[in-house]
Amino acid sequence: MIRTATPADVPVIRAMIRELAEYEKALDEARATEEQLREALFGERPAAYAHIAETEDGEPVGFALWFLNFSTWRGVRGIYLEDLYVRPERRGGGHGKALLTELARICVERGYERLEWSVLDWNEPSIAFYRSLGAVPQDEWTVFRLTDGALGELGAPSR
C-alpha cells in the first residue's frame, strides 16, 4: 500500500533517510533533524512531499521523498525524486515499483512531463531496477554541487 505521508511519519522517514545514507556510505552527511523534516514536508510552504510504502498490516517499509522542478525546455513542472528507499528485508516485494508508480501517476494526472532522479554509479541493483521500468540514464550529464566551505566562500558578501 502507498499513502501520502503525515506528520506522524516524520520519525520513520528520518530513520529511513539515515538507513539510506548508511547504505550509500554517507551516514555522516545525513544531518536533517525531525524538526527540519517536519517543516519541509508539513510547514506553511512545503518544500517537499513524501509517500510511504506499507505492508498490509501498516508497517512502514519504504518511502519516496520528492519535490517539484521545472523544465524550461518543456515549459512545465516535473517531479524530482530526492530519495527512494525500501528497507533491505522488504526489497523485491514491489514496494519500490509501487512508490514510483504513484509518482508517475501524479505526473500524468497533473500534466507534468518528467520524473527524474539520480542514482550512484555503483548501485547496480537499483540501476537494473530503474532500467526494467523503462527509465533511461542521462549519461551525458554530470551533477555538480556546492556545499559547506565552497558554498560559503562563493556566497559570502563582497568585502
Q: Which residues are catalytic?
A: 130
Q: Which of 97, 129, 148, 102 is nearest to 5 (CA)?
A: 102
123: three-class secondary structure by DSSP? coil
Give the Cα-Cα-Cα angle 129, 27, 146 (nearest 5 degrees). Answer: 85
Helix (H) or strand (E) holding 22: helix 10-23
Neighbours of 16 (CB within 10 A): 22
Amino acid at 42: F
